[in-house]
Structure 1
Amino acid sequence: MTITLSTRLHDVRGSAIRDLLALTARPEVISLAGGLPGTDLLPRERIAQALATAVADPAAVQYGETAGLRPLREVVAEHESERLGRTMAAEAVVVTSGSQQALDLVARALLDPGDPVVVEDPVYVGALQVFQAAGATLHPVPVDADGMAVDVLADRLAAGLRPRLVHTVSSFHNPRGATLSPPRRAYLAELAERYGFLVVEDDPYGLLAFDGHPLPTPVAAHGDRVVRLGSASKVLAPALRVGWLTGPAPLCAAVERLKQCTDLCTSSLTQLVTAELLADHAWFDAHLDRLRAALHDRAGALTGAVAGVFGDAVTCSVPTGGMFCWLEFTDGTRPADLLPTALDHGVGYVPGTAFAVGQDLSAAARLCYASNPPAELHTAVERLGAAWGASAT
């Protein structure tokens, strides 16, 4: 059967990560590929308790408001107010089916084909797909150890670039692992005001700072031209499929209208579960402490094993939070070429080329330490080292 597909679909790059997950799902493969929180770190017993409470309410199994159930919008507004240092009303929150839907709805609300959009390079692949589907013209800006190179963006703006949106994963960047520095956050918000664009601050990892590192102040704390995206996936459980966005009232209203076209509403059941867990401050704070400590241990295990196995043949970022570290080979190894051998040795990862927009990232790879305990991470790096050694012979 011949099916004529939309022309917009022609420019949407398939996700190498989704394709790779099918290979790394084999039980003999330790996956460092997907950005998955460890199943052992998900609070399944507490979720089960909240589910039992929620399902006793008939509203939990019914359609709900498109913008989200009031209890969840209120508790998200409370958490956001604490992060931003100013009061946010529940009406400024729109609940979505994961933050990926929030990003897609924002793009659909604001972008026409050909509109310029600034993305980070390396880029979060979910953002890349959304903006490609919208037909946007992409303008990549590099990311270094302090996050997006806002000075490079400023130079391009001064030269005439006028983006509709600037997208950033500002805290514990996916895939680079970097966090946008405080001066750059303030400068980005200032540029948004000066040139009239919106910043989309994609922040699923912002609460996952390791011990001794303060939670990053959101870009939105520095200005009003910022749309913040948040998610329960990394701090509670991905299967809840609960995300949210906060931003200017006209945009929230537009997103709500578009969401009616997409799914009518996010699951009432999982919204009530998420609302209960986020509102239980004592439990949630203790859960975050445990989660941060476990991720800190896993990051140390992975980076320590990489240093021991590869030595000067690689450089590796030192995570201060989040779920990822960024590896770059200095000996000419190309991770995309190494991957088939690595899979044969029982380990998977994502080559840097999957995240490239304009840069040559052929020497790089993203490793996720969140999914596996330290012992498994040591084994994974040993397998990767064996594959590396075999490819050199």
Structure 2
Amino acid sequence: MTIPRSPAVPRSPAVLLSARVREVRGSAIRDLLALTARNDVISLAGGLPGTDLLPRDRIGAALATAVADPAAVQYGETSGLRRLRDVLATTEGERLGRRLAPTDVVVTSGSQQALDLVARAMLDPGDPVVVEDPCYVGALQVFQAVGAALHPVPVDADGMDVDTLAARLAAGLRPKLVHTVSSFHNPRGATLAAERRAALAALADRYGFLVVEDDPYGLLAFDGPPPVPVAALGDRVVRLGSASKVLAPALRVGWLTGPTPLLAAVERLKQCTDLCGSTLTQAVAAELLADRPWFDAHLDRLRGALRERAAALTGAVRETFADAVTYSTPTGGMFCWVEFTDGTRPADLLPVALEHGVGFVPGAAFAANSKPGAAHDRAARLCFASNPVPALRTAVGRLSAAWRRSAVSAT
């Protein structure tokens, strides 16, 4: 009898990756999502809007309308669906206080793609780029991928320390780009103060760099109107926007406005990347953003829910940890930045926290230098947007139990 041989297990061939890819740091947040996806874990880690806050019924109705048009399931223009660019030109123009044409807008697959395309259009390996510290992880990955030389500038309660930037510029630093999450910063939660916004725009004019204003959270101000964009204060600003936090991440609709030569370069690069975005989801976004009474009411509900969740999280942190931590007071957006004052290192606390059923992101993941852990090692980012109030209070209780266990183990 002939015994059949077991098929050989295929071996993965050796692949020589580019030096550029080897320089890109993995995202600790993306790695954490797999762990926090467990049913027994309440995640304060990923920057995810609460699923219960997403307008699924309204999106479903808009999808049904969109798919009835044959053009909605066909390839579209690289720069985006004209109807959506019409809407965005109006809404962005209102925020900037000047008239925009649809040709002043390029639609992208989320604002992350917009940032990547801007970096690829503007930067050669070794070009200097100013980033905030702590920094949005997605920006770090984009700039590392193009081989930029990163120059961190601190972020405090009023956003980027523009005085420090000014001093470094006066000393000879000449960046091509300065990246800022200007409103309700990820991860710090801070908003760039009005005087700093004006100073940043003036520095861009004086020294000739381009400001990349990354603004996915600006419409999520808890009280009062959204902050005035940096792009409203100067011409040397490329502004990135997103529907992910105000409508739904799965739409994958982002956009950028900025200098015309840059938009043309971005469009050419986008042709290399994906030819065009999803015409179907862009049609949905266009309908929802154009329905101003509905969208304004939706934003009001969203802001109210986020305000309540932020208050619940920070209240629980205050009651539970007392003077063992300091924390930011959110005025919008999705994040609270916590710093331990008792010597606790959140990177060491995280495994214990996961055992107790709660996840968060250690602050070291947002360090702008190339060695994670060298900075912000006493800090953590907590996202309050993803969970309702009772779950947030439970999560802080679990975090407290993990913290107390770690303290006992340390002694």
TM-score tier (shorter): over 0.9
Q: Report the AA paired with residue 160 of structure 1.
A: G
Cα distance in 1 between the residues matched to 2:225 and 2:401: 38
Map 1:122-133 to 2 at 5 A: 122-133=134-145
Question: 1:371 is matched with which residue?
Answer: 386
Question: 1:319 is matched with which residue?
Answer: 330
Unpaired runs of at least 5, structure 2: 1-12
| Number of residue pairs aligned between Structure 1 and Structure 2 | 392
Cα distance in 1 between the residues matched to 2:363 and 2:125: 27
Question: 1:188 is matched with which residue?
Answer: 200
1:230 corresponds to which of 235, 241, 249: 241
1:348 corresponds to which of 342, 345, 359: 359
Cα distance in 2 between the residues matched to 1:360 and 1:14: 17
Does residue 109 of structure 1 match 2:124? no
Cα distance in 2 between the residues matched to 1:97 and 1:357: 25
Cα distance in 1 between the residues matched to 2:340 and 2:91: 40
**Residue 214 of structure 1: CA displacement?**
2.9
Does residue 249 of structure 1 match 2:264? no
Cα distance in 2 between the residues matched to 1:207 and 1:22: 29
Map 1:143-292 to 2 at 5 A: 143-211=155-223, 213-292=224-303
Question: 2:46 is matched with which residue?
Answer: 34
**Residue 10 of structure 1: CA displacement?**
1.3
Q: Greater Rg, structure 1 or structure 2? A: 2
Does residue 3 of structure 1 match 2:18? no
**Residue 360 of structure 1: CA displacement?**
1.9
Cα distance in 1 between the residues matched to 2:384 and 2:315: 12
1:22 corresponds to which of 34, 50, 64: 34
Does residue 334 of structure 1 match 2:349? no
RMSD: 0.6
Q: Report the AA paired with residue 277 of structure 1.
A: L
**Residue 19 of structure 1: CA displacement?**
0.3
Cα distance in 2 between the residues matched to 1:296 and 1:231: 20
Q: Report the AA paired with residue 226 of structure 1.
A: V
Cα distance in 1 between the residues matched to 2:291 and 2:201: 32
Cα distance in 2 between the residues matched to 1:254 and 1:160: 28
Cα distance in 2 between the residues matched to 1:369 and 1:314: 17
Identity of aligned residues (%): 79
SS at match of 2:218: coil
Cα distance in 2 between the residues matched to 1:183 and 1:59: 46
1:303 corresponds to which of 314, 326, 333: 314
**Residue 137 of structure 1: CA displacement?**
0.1
1:294 corresponds to which of 287, 294, 305: 305
**Residue 39 of structure 1: CA displacement?**
0.2
**Residue 357 of structure 1: CA displacement?**
1.7
1:288-338 per-position Cα deviation (integer Å, ceiling 9, x unaligned)? 000000000000000000001100000010000000000000000000000
Q: Report the AA paired with residue 127 of structure 2.
A: D
1:10-47 per-position Cα deviation (integer Å, ceiling 9, x unaligned)? 11000000001110000000000000000000000000
Question: 1:95 is matched with which residue?
Answer: 107
Unpaired runs of at least 5, structure 1: none
Does residue 67 of structure 1 match 2:79? yes
Cα distance in 2 between the residues matched to 1:379 and 1:308: 13
Cα distance in 2 between the residues matched to 1:268 and 1:360: 42
**Residue 380 of structure 1: CA displacement?**
0.0
Cα distance in 1 between the residues matched to 2:229 and 2:102: 18
Cα distance in 2 between the residues matched to 1:299 and 1:307: 12
Q: Report the AA paired with residue 377 of structure 1.
A: L
SS at match of 2:212: strand
Does residue 141 of structure 1 match 2:156? no
Tell me the TM-score normalised to structure 1 length. Answer: 0.99
Q: Report the AA paired with residue 273 of structure 1.
A: V
1:223-261 per-position Cα deviation (integer Å, ceiling 9, x unaligned)? 000000000000000000000000011000000000000
Does residue 361 of structure 1 match 2:376? yes
Question: 2:406 is matched with which residue?
Answer: 391
